[in-house]
Structure 1
Amino acid sequence: MLIREATQADWPAIWSFLRTIVAAGDTFTWDRDISEERARAMWLKEAPGRTVVAVDEDGTVLGSAETHPNQGGPGAHVANAGFMVDPRFTGRGVARALAAHVLDRARADGYRAMQFNAVVETNSRAVALWQSLGFEVLATVPEAFLHSEKGYVGLLVMYRKL
């Protein structure tokens, strides 16, 4: 697996799984019926943000991640990131590889920490992955996410120093 900077040419592959993941309404806080144009603007980051893709040896996009400052100005030294893996490729280490890459790149870019503002508490695979990579849960915002099947569930604020 290769992780590289995403290009505009990668967008159709990213969109094919991003729209499915967002529409499912169980792991991501975006509007479930987000337009392609809005999704592209939100996912394909401009500097100082970054967007990467994980690809296999054939160039198939397996997943993607985006990183950006969590806040502006005096809070810009803390990174934030989003991750999506094509459901056809889950369980193959794509998310872990993307996470390791993003953490290394954020550190190299001068960020001092990474914060996730909204990890759905019922997304046990993601929570376990982040905790295995040294993230801690700082808080749970009760009933802050309307899960498509489970109703109102909490959102976790997770943090890791870099």
Structure 2
Amino acid sequence: MDHPDKAFPVSWDQFHRDARALAWRLAGVNGKWKSIVCITRGGLVPAAVIARELGIRLIETVCVASYHDYAEQGELKIIKEVAPSLLQDDGKDVLIVDDLTDTGKTAAIVRAMMPKAHFATIYAKPKGRPLVDTFVTEVSQDTWIYFPWDMGFSYQKPIAEGEVG
């Protein structure tokens, strides 16, 4: 598995704090969101936290497959579309949530479905950042984020003992 040189491991604790930080920012943007549309799979966890924090009950998914083997981003395919009722008025008062915007390709597809929706992610990389309205942390394009649901506990070599990129 070939990943960029920089690793950014995120613990469950850190991810929860970052999702709550995003909720704080979103609370000041709109008086009342009518729903959340989360981009699966990465958007599921932050959407649950944000829905709790902001009192949003209607959570919808849009399923877009992009990282086919976690190494290369292949052709994008919409596996499940958004409910037509949320597409009315171009997604006005809808909050789109994802964990990360990387290249912006997935974000562009979902944003095109709901151009008036507010797009929020926990993390943003430079290529995808212009498509996001609100985010918490920007990371460099060559950083690979290891999300807590992708990791298990294991020994980590000290940086001094490994190769530094």
| TM-score relative to the length of structure 1 | 0.33
The structure that has the greater radius of gyration is 2
